[in-house]
Chain A
């Protein structure tokens, strides 16, 4: 592992970065206005010249906004990292930014009168999200990676709630949409004047807290012996960081990853002590965001108003996170519990499987026959009506089955009880492949879609497993890599949607997991293929039982490691691609179903595969039924509902596990 730390702060690089930003800003100004008018435009614009007015009231505040927001997010990142002793903590990775954004979105839609105090709503949202993340991680000892995992899971969940709002109010939320992706565009100085005093206040408080904060680098007993109330200090510093984030979100929306990247770059440049980092990181953050924003303005031309810079930073930030993860020296998390240690008392597997199958059949039948119609709830026997329900139910069941199976395979393969197509970014990989395909060839037939989804899923899986192998399969790191890939996908999705291309709009419903366009042959193929792959997996039971035990045990028992891993990966990628095609990339069923199967007592690999497949199918059938009836005649996507339920389950599961 290479060390991030350089012996001494290297001023040279920092100066170079700042100079580059200055040059870029000057070049951007030169593009709009002859140099002779610069001074006038910047200080006292001629009100007859709209170009001068634009420079003064649009270009310049936007520039200041980029600097302020970049600096503020970096500051929040440094504070969070210092308090939590966790180099991955940041406004985005702890769910703060998404919490603030969702609170504002909800207020906009349902309680517009509250919007008079926007930043306080954002603060409440961000604070609640943080509290939730902490409540989850606390029970598992607040280990750094657990905290980040909890944060990213909460972010994912809040993100899916946000998508649901957009689906229900597509036109009303157009503005919210541009804003939520982080548009820096300004039309007066209000935004800057809003942010400036709040940041100044925070800065004063941080300077005041500088000495005690620096002592947090000592271990707890050392700091306590100096007479510090650690908890108070932590809460205060974290509160400041959340406040800064909330203010930035209020002003410009979610700007991804600057809060993570800037402190990391500062560290790379050699800033070691807190004082150095507090000085260096905001400068880096400001420069990074400014450069990104100027690049957006330059390349997007007249559309720069509508391309959200926040989306672009997330696009750049995700690869950075991927690069950082293997290079960070993290305090070791607690040893991860072996998969079998999680199991509940062993129940007889066979009757339980029978019961699950029966439950699945009954739910399928109820989902088929019971539903809302023009006269309200009714049992429906008309084959003309049922012809619409059958493919959706079968498609949902098939997708759930495959996700449950894929999740079980991945958990066995990595020996990680949190592994799943969703959290490892494999679904996101499949969806990226599919989106690329749909843009290049919008009428692509099913085989091409499946092939491209498979390709995306497999590449992601290979990258992740490659990462993991080089770093001795640290389970949490594996998930972080996966979530970084999901974040990359989210960024691409946001950008595509904000471009307002009709092709982008048409993928939104698929992305959120609607079974609406599933046809009967596809649905039958999904169930058939799922069952076939399930049967294919069953002979792998021995491998799957042995693989979680590590490297040497299975090898000594005669498992061909390379072949076993590769075949399992191929099957998992295929399952994920097919399921993503049906219900979109985010459902959490691939995580939930294997976990529930274990809780029910399926400890053997085969039992878990079967149990997870049945539970997965059951969950998706229920989600689809709920989606069709909850807001009748409007229909919510099954994948989205499963993700909401799954997110809650996941949060509950995270908090419960010890």
Chain B
């Protein structure tokens, strides 16, 4: 009898423990989580929309074993079921699909972007949470250390240079940009590096705002960083735009074209951004 009682008490605890991982077969719909997983040494078995991951995120490259799960907003549930994941990672923006996903495997939502918090700070939290979930705590701590080290080094290298504030944008077309504001990940990186974001206007929950290019003239001393991929023909069209040519950073040649880096990502994206910054600012 006592044995039975003990068993009854133990069983839920044991089940709970089993549920908490560490998980081995992880899939994710979010690219920021996917790159952070790779960063802490975990290969997810499936990631949504790999063709666009390559186009928009680029680094780190996903290992060849990773399955494409279809569109991020409508992942292929049949395929997902057949992959038999033991954990599905999402972010709040994919919350609508949760009831469906939960029938396949436990679903966990991790947010890098949260209201009123520094995305860089939450990115570190997310890396730790991913470490817990996958049993790669050491990998997570290593990633965070690497990041802090890289940050400190770059901050030092940039310290004695008088650098302008930067506009961080993606081109929508020849006339419009998505400009990343103070609550964006890369803006947070700039801040930690002791640099400034030139965009004074507001931004939305995701840390960006859509605007016409002439709005970028408000801080005359600023430089501009634009991230690939730019839509086809947009760059050529910009070269021909008189207003563009009269923007201070164009006239004074402070325009930097960056490779794709995922503005909505985590620590890996932040590291990638710092590498791009270092190359652009120190090696020219």
Q: Which of the residues B73, B78, B174, B212 comes within 8 Å of A371, measured between beta carbons?
A: B78
The verdict on B228 contacting chain A, using a C-beta distance below 8 Å, is: no
Q: Tell me the bound Cα distance from A382 to B82 in angstroms.
A: 9
Q: State how many residues of chain A have any CB contact under 8 Å with chain B.
A: 49
Q: Given A187-B213, A188-B242, A374-B82 in contact, is the A178-B172 Cβ separation under 8 Å?
A: yes
Contacts of B76 in A (CB 8 A): 632-635
Shortest beta-carbon distance from A266 to chain B in Å: 32
Q: Are B242 and A57 in contact (CB under 8 A)?
A: yes
Contacts of B67 in A (CB 8 A): 374, 633
Shortest beta-carbon distance from B147 to chain A in Å: 27
Q: Are A302 and B211 in contact (CB under 8 A)?
A: yes
The residue of chain A having its C-beta at the shortest distance from the C-beta of B217 within the complex is: A50
Q: Tell me the bound Cα distance from A142 to B243 in angstroms.
A: 49
Shortest beta-carbon distance from B231 to chain A in Å: 4
A184-217 Cβ-contact flags toward B at 8 Å (1 or 0): 0111111000000000000000000000000000
Instruction: Name which of B109-117, B161-169, B188-196, B232-240 contacts chain A.
Output: B232-240
The residue of chain A having its C-beta at the shortest distance from the C-beta of B97 within the complex is: A517
Q: Are A178 and B176 in contact (CB under 8 A)?
A: yes
Q: Are B241 and A187 in contact (CB under 8 A)?
A: yes
The verdict on A134 contacting chain B, using a C-beta distance below 8 Å, is: no
Q: Given A50-B217, A384-B81 in contact, is the A175-B234 Cβ separation under 8 Å?
A: yes
Q: Tell me the bound Cα distance from A509 to B233 in angstroms.
A: 28
The verdict on A141 contacting chain B, using a C-beta distance below 8 Å, is: no
The verdict on A506 contacting chain B, using a C-beta distance below 8 Å, is: yes
Q: Tell me the bound Cα distance from A384 to B212 in angstroms.
A: 49
Q: Are A635 and B176 in contact (CB under 8 A)?
A: no
The verdict on B133 contacting chain A, using a C-beta distance below 8 Å, is: no
The residue of chain B having its C-beta at the shortest distance from the C-beta of A374 within the complex is: B82
The verdict on A171 contacting chain B, using a C-beta distance below 8 Å, is: yes
Contacts of B283 in A (CB 8 A): none
Q: Are B174 and A112 in contact (CB under 8 A)?
A: no
The residue of chain A having its C-beta at the shortest distance from the C-beta of B231 within the complex is: A175
Q: Which of B67, B71, B175, B234 has the most A CB atoms < 10 Å from its CB? A: B175
Q: Given A171-B52, A635-B76 in contact, is the A54-B243 Cβ separation under 8 Å?
A: yes
Contacts of B214 in A (CB 8 A): 50, 53-54, 58, 187
Q: Are B176 and A305 in contact (CB under 8 A)?
A: yes
Q: Are B211 and A171 in contact (CB under 8 A)?
A: no
Q: Which of the residues A112, A188, A306, A371 comes within 8 Å of B176, measured between beta carbons?
A: A306
The verdict on A179 contacting chain B, using a C-beta distance below 8 Å, is: yes
Q: Tell me the bound Cα distance from A140 to B44 in angstroms.
A: 59
Q: Which of A172, A175, A384 has the most B CB atoms < 10 Å from its CB? A: A175
Q: Are A373 and B82 in contact (CB under 8 A)?
A: yes
Instruction: Name which of A65-73, A347-355, A385-393, A640-648 contacts chain B.
Output: A385-393
The verdict on B156 contacting chain A, using a C-beta distance below 8 Å, is: no
Q: Tell me the bound Cα distance from A382 to B104 in angstroms.
A: 13
Shortest beta-carbon distance from A380 to chain B in Å: 8
Contacts of B79 in A (CB 8 A): 373-374, 632-633
A42-83 Cβ-contact flags toward B at 8 Å (1 or 0): 000001001001100110000000000000000000000000
Q: Given A54-B243, A305-B212, A633-B68 in contact, is the A389-B172 Cβ separation under 8 Å?
A: no
Interface residues of A (CB under 8 A from B): 47, 50, 53-54, 57-58, 108, 112, 115, 171-172, 174-176, 178-179, 183, 185-190, 302-303, 305-306, 371, 373-374, 380, 382, 384-385, 387-389, 500, 502, 506, 509, 514, 516-517, 628, 632-635
Q: List 16 A-B contacts (CB under 8 A).
A: A50-B217, A58-B214, A112-B233, A175-B231, A185-B176, A187-B213, A187-B242, A187-B244, A302-B215, A373-B79, A374-B83, A385-B82, A500-B210, A517-B100, A633-B69, A635-B74
Known: A171-B52, A187-B213, A633-B76. 11 other contacts (CB 8 A): A53-B214, A171-B55, A175-B176, A190-B240, A302-B215, A306-B176, A371-B78, A380-B78, A387-B103, A632-B70, A633-B70
